Structure 1
Amino acid sequence: MSKKLRTAVAAAAAAATMTASATAQETIPQDQPVRSVVLVHGAFADGSGWRGVYDILTARGYRVSIVQNPLTSLADDVAATDRILERQEGPSILVGHSYGGTVITEAGINPKVAALVYVSALAPDVGETTGDQFADIPAPPEFIIETGEDGFGFVNLEEFKTGFAGDTTDADAAFLRDSQVPINMEIFGTPVTHAAWKEKPSWAVIATEDKAIDPRLLRETAERIGAVPVEVPASHVVFLTRPGEVADVIDTAARASGGS
């Protein structure tokens, strides 16, 4: 993204943030160009975790769609995202959590995408892989992935809550643990061929208590891609435990974007 565009995004975000408390419960204006939101989950999860964010944004008047990534390959996940984007009637905010950040980085070049929101997410550059993101700042020791003989990985059961969902209840963490969607670990070695954040304005929700992706990496990533950073005191599943703050960032991005 050019310096001029980054300046414009920052100015728009600042203006939107000043009125966030006043507009948090308001419906979106009828003449607002961006009225659609597409949510993309990450590894070891499915789209149902977005329910809280979905409820808040739909109440404000947004049309919200949720991608169900198969987690079988990066190409499959990008295709699943494009399939949902093509169903949108106008420009959309594309949102990705964790590995979903890699997916929106690739899929975000779709002309229907007006802006990107990274939620405790990764954002590789062209030629980089998801795994490359951890070269200098590895995942915290609490986050343990176990890979089966078929090449698909799960988060370790004993450390699941600590590493993945530290601020959920024990019951919710147990459900997330036992309903994991395994990911083909080859995905983490697949380089991206496009970096949509170079052209699309971006926001980044940084979960300050994240034990799956080090918050230092989240901050460095936000700075590298020129995203507007918003820090939230939450675990890796910030979209689940702090849906209001995440919805506000998405709302801000939509209000600040003029469409594609």
Structure 2
Amino acid sequence: MTLGKILVPAFVAGVLSLGVSSAAYSAPLKCVVLVHGAFVDGSGWKPVYDILSRKGYDVSIVQQPLTSVADDVAATKRVLDLQQGPCVLVAHSYGGAIITEAGNDPKVAGLVYVAAHALDKGETEVGNGKLFPPAYKSLVKTPDGFTYIDPAHFHADFAADLPARQADFAAHSQMLTAAAVFSTPATAPAWKTKPSWYVVAKSDRIINPDLERMYAKRAGSHTIEIAGASHSVYETHPKEVAVLIEQAAQQSAK
């Protein structure tokens, strides 16, 4: 695994532009906030939560409603407001669009994208998906405008490296997600002013791995690629993901 070069000057500029003293980030950073993606809830973060908690990190998990980008950003900021110090804000999948907006909060010191969308201003997930088509064909839309992954294809498309029974449970406990979130344009991307880290899932069928690479390269993210990892990489490779989050916490504190 190789990491990119740290973008300290851009980070410092971003902190100063928010009116936050750089001295506020000199102490060890121990706060981590995790944001889930579409179709799942925060329980998938438990393996990462357990690893980081054992190492002394104060970890919180956002349970956003998946009803609109505005609602989900508000839910994330509500959790950030409860934190006592600077945090690393981490997201999976659609959650990346959420932290790209919520990451402008002054309590956020760094961003970690885990097979996640890191949109630029005016971009949408649908639009970027047309440029880098994903492999899955299992998205279903309800008459009232919500979406889910067909349970018959959930294992293969979303979580191929999860045990079958675990993937089956995830398939039948999905959080239906408003279709509108995927076509909502980003406004002010936080990754332009704050340092970021990125996990590319090399066998992802939900987000094209080449799109993930584009996001990471464009943001100047410290990047790792995990071979054989499905879209559920945060759950199937928690050790690698936790290590990258730790690195983000250590570097964001400087």
TM-score (norm 2): 0.89
CA distance in 2, matches of 1:32, 1:250: 17
Q: 1:228 aligns with which of 199, 218, 222?
A: 222
Paired residue for 1:199? 193
CA-to-partner distance for each residue in 1:166-219, whole Å, 9 max, x for gaps? 000110010000000010001111112110000010000011111111111111
Structure 1 residue 41 and structure 2 residue 28: aligned? no
2:8, 2:195 within 8 Å by CA — same for their partners in 1? no
Partner residue of 2:119?
Answer: 124
Once the two structures are TM-superposed, the CA of residue 135 in structure 1 deviates from its matched residue by 2.4
Match of residue 132 from structure 2: 137
Task: Measure how far apart 1:240 and its partner are.
Answer: 0.6
SS in 1 for 2:116: coil
1:106 corresponds, among 101, 105, 123, to 101
Change (3 A) 1:250 1:72: same
**For residues 143 and 63 of structure 1, what CA distance do their matches in structure 2 show?**
38
The aligned residue for residue 60 of structure 2 is 65
Is structure 2 residue 212 aligned with structure 1 residue 211?
A: no
Alpha-carbon distance between aligned partners in 1 of 2:64 and 2:126, rounded to the nearest angstrom = 18
Q: In 1, Cα distance between the equivalents of 2:192 and 2:138?
A: 32
Match of 2:140 among 142, 146, 149: 146
Shift of 1:258: 2.1
Residue 179, structure 1, aligned to residue 179, structure 2 = no
Return closer, same or farther for 1:76/1:252 CA change in 2, 3 Å cut-off.
same
Question: Equivalent residue for 1:88?
Answer: 83
SS in 1 for 2:49: helix
More displaced 10-residue stretch of structure 1: 224-233 or 196-205: 224-233
Aligned pairs for 1:152-171 within 5 A = 152-171=146-165
Please give the alpha-carbon distance, in whole angstroms, between the structure 2 residues aligned to 1:190 and 1:132. 10
Please point out which of 215, 232, 236 is paired with 1:237: 232
The answer to whether the 8 A contact 1:115-1:202 is kept is yes
**How much identity, in percent, do the aligned residues show?**
50
Q: How much does 1:33 deviate?
A: 2.7
Residue 18 of structure 1 corresponds to which residue in structure 2? Answer: none
1:143/1:164 contact within 8 Å kept:
no
Residues 1:246 and 2:241 aligned together? yes
Contact residue 143 and residue 212 of structure 1 kept, 8 A? no
Segments of 5+ residues of structure 2 without an aligned counterpart are: 11-25
SS at match of 2:7: helix
- Name segments (4+ residues, structure 1) moved above 6 Å: none
Instruction: Show structure 1 runs of 5+ residues with no match.
Output: 10-30
Which stretch shifts more, 108-117 or 121-130?
121-130
Aligned length: 235
SS at match of 1:76: helix
Distance apart, 1:8 and its partner CA: 6.0
Aligned to 1:6: 7
Displacement of 1:58 after TM fit? 0.6
Q: Which moved more, 1:96-105 or 1:186-195?
A: 186-195
Per the TM alignment, residue 243 of structure 1 is displaced from its structure 2 partner at its CA by 0.6
